[in-house]
Amino acid sequence: MRFDILTIFPDFFVSPLAQGMIRRAIQDGLVGVGLHDIREHATDKHAMTDDRPFGGGEGMVMKPEPLAAAVRHVRGAAASARVVLLSPQGRTLNQEMAAELAGEEQLILVCGRYEGVDERFREAYVDREVSVGDYILTGGEPAALVLLDCVIRLLPGVLGCGDSAENDTFSQGSRGGLKYPQYTRPRVFEGREVPPVLLSGDHAAIARWRLLEAVRRTRQRRPELLKAADFTGAERRLLAQNGIEIK
């Protein structure tokens, strides 16, 4: 899969792309990531990428010409490339959207700044707008990194550990809810012991415990997620036997 990031601060991404999972995915040829400076496509001698808004008001707005030229340059003849604008006005990124985006061949991520981008660029070039939450960042760069990490880990071969991503919080393996509690060595930490079932070696009992704990945790912390949970008949019976009714 190919990612191309359009930004006025390409150096923002240098260190994150050289770390951990993303670095390995790039080195293994599973992912390609290109950084593109929008300023290189500005048309004036000062390489301006923003200007004052028509109608007055605070702040600056990113100009349409450099953004459009950058998209055209990166897209080339790749008609399948999808342009994603990181914007607080977009749909909120979630696991379902991440899985959808992971099915694309190429994503062009546009990092907005200031008061936003010229509406004409959005209308003509942007395929979808994506938000990472109901809060305001200084620019789209941190949001692009979140999207990049979220999508790349879903690509085949990236994690290299079976169905790890499938069992994550919000994924189908966790029934769309939160994940069960996790424990590791030592068995006793400051007087707190690991639940005995996890030491039993009984994989069926462990699976039942994990399901129950995941649902209890989800009901306590994010109950709205249970509305869309897809449980089997056997799972519903197990939950009911333990006093947990899913409507």
175 in catalytic set: no
Q: What is the CA radius of gyration of the chain?
A: 23
119 in catalytic set: no
C-alpha–C-alpha distance, residues 5 and 84, integer Å: 10
According to DSSP, the residues that pair with 110 across neighbouring strands are: 6, 85
Choose the catalytic residue: 168, 217, 219, 235: 168
Choose the catalytic residue: 153, 181, 217, 235: 153
Choose the catalytic residue: 10, 64, 66, 88: 88
SS (H, E, C) 15-67: HHHCCHHHHHHHHCCCCEEEEEEHHHHCCCCCCCCEECCCCCCCCCEECHHHH
The CA distances from residue 181 to 176, 217, 218, in Å, are 15, 8, 11
C-alpha–C-alpha distance, residues 35 and 138, integer Å: 19
115 in catalytic set: yes
88 in catalytic set: yes
C-alpha–C-alpha distance, residues 53 and 120, integer Å: 13
Choose the catalytic residue: 65, 104, 115, 149: 115
Active site residues: 88, 115, 153, 168
